[in-house]
Amino acid sequence: MIRIIKDIFHPSPRDTLKRAKFVIYTLSSWIILFTIMPKNQYLNLIFIIANTYIHINIGAKRIRDS
Protein backbone atom coordinates (compact mmCIF):
# COMPACT_ATOMS: atom_id res chain seq x y z
CA MET A 1 0.00 0.00 0.00
CA ILE A 2 2.80 2.42 0.86
CA ARG A 3 4.50 1.62 -2.45
CA ILE A 4 1.33 2.49 -4.39
CA ILE A 5 1.04 5.85 -2.63
CA LYS A 6 4.75 6.52 -3.21
CA ASP A 7 4.38 5.68 -6.92
CA ILE A 8 1.53 8.18 -7.26
CA PHE A 9 3.51 11.11 -5.85
CA HIS A 10 7.00 10.10 -7.02
CA PRO A 11 6.62 8.03 -10.21
CA SER A 12 9.61 6.55 -11.94
CA PRO A 13 10.68 8.18 -15.24
CA ARG A 14 9.20 5.24 -17.17
CA ASP A 15 5.82 5.68 -15.48
CA THR A 16 5.93 9.42 -16.11
CA LEU A 17 6.33 8.79 -19.85
CA LYS A 18 3.40 6.35 -19.80
CA ARG A 19 1.23 8.89 -18.03
CA ALA A 20 2.28 11.65 -20.42
CA LYS A 21 1.28 9.52 -23.42
CA PHE A 22 -2.08 8.79 -21.78
CA VAL A 23 -2.72 12.49 -21.08
CA ILE A 24 -1.76 13.53 -24.62
CA TYR A 25 -3.93 10.81 -26.15
CA THR A 26 -6.92 11.67 -23.96
CA LEU A 27 -6.63 15.41 -24.59
CA SER A 28 -6.35 14.89 -28.33
CA SER A 29 -9.43 12.67 -28.30
CA TRP A 30 -11.32 15.37 -26.36
CA ILE A 31 -10.33 17.98 -28.95
CA ILE A 32 -11.45 15.72 -31.79
CA LEU A 33 -14.79 15.06 -30.09
CA PHE A 34 -15.35 18.77 -29.45
CA THR A 35 -14.68 19.68 -33.07
CA ILE A 36 -16.75 16.86 -34.60
CA MET A 37 -19.97 17.51 -32.69
CA PRO A 38 -20.29 21.18 -31.70
CA LYS A 39 -24.10 21.34 -32.07
CA ASN A 40 -25.27 18.76 -29.54
CA GLN A 41 -23.25 19.57 -26.44
CA TYR A 42 -24.92 17.06 -24.11
CA LEU A 43 -24.21 14.19 -26.47
CA ASN A 44 -20.67 15.51 -26.85
CA LEU A 45 -20.19 15.54 -23.07
CA ILE A 46 -21.44 11.95 -22.79
CA PHE A 47 -18.98 10.83 -25.47
CA ILE A 48 -16.11 12.64 -23.74
CA ILE A 49 -16.89 11.05 -20.36
CA ALA A 50 -17.25 7.59 -21.92
CA ASN A 51 -14.05 8.03 -23.92
CA THR A 52 -12.10 9.11 -20.83
CA TYR A 53 -13.52 6.20 -18.81
CA ILE A 54 -12.43 3.75 -21.51
CA HIS A 55 -8.91 5.22 -21.66
CA ILE A 56 -8.56 5.11 -17.86
CA ASN A 57 -9.58 1.44 -17.81
CA ILE A 58 -7.18 0.58 -20.64
CA GLY A 59 -4.36 2.34 -18.79
CA ALA A 60 -5.24 0.57 -15.54
CA LYS A 61 -5.19 -2.83 -17.27
CA ARG A 62 -1.79 -2.08 -18.81
CA ILE A 63 -0.37 -1.01 -15.46
CA ARG A 64 -1.86 -4.07 -13.76
CA ASP A 65 -0.52 -6.46 -16.40
CA SER A 66 2.99 -4.98 -16.46
Q: Which pTM value belongs to this model?
A: 0.41
pLDDT number for residue 26: 75
Give 50 or 1, the one with higher predicted confidence: 50
Do 44 and 37 touch, CB atoms closer than 8 A?
Answer: yes
Residue 1 banded pLDDT, cuts 50, 70, 90: low
Nearest to 29 by CA among 2, 56, 65: 56
Q: How far apart are the first and last CA of the chain?
A: 17
Measured between alpha carbons, how far is 64 from 61 in angstroms, rounded to an integer? 5
Domain boundaries, the chain: 2-65
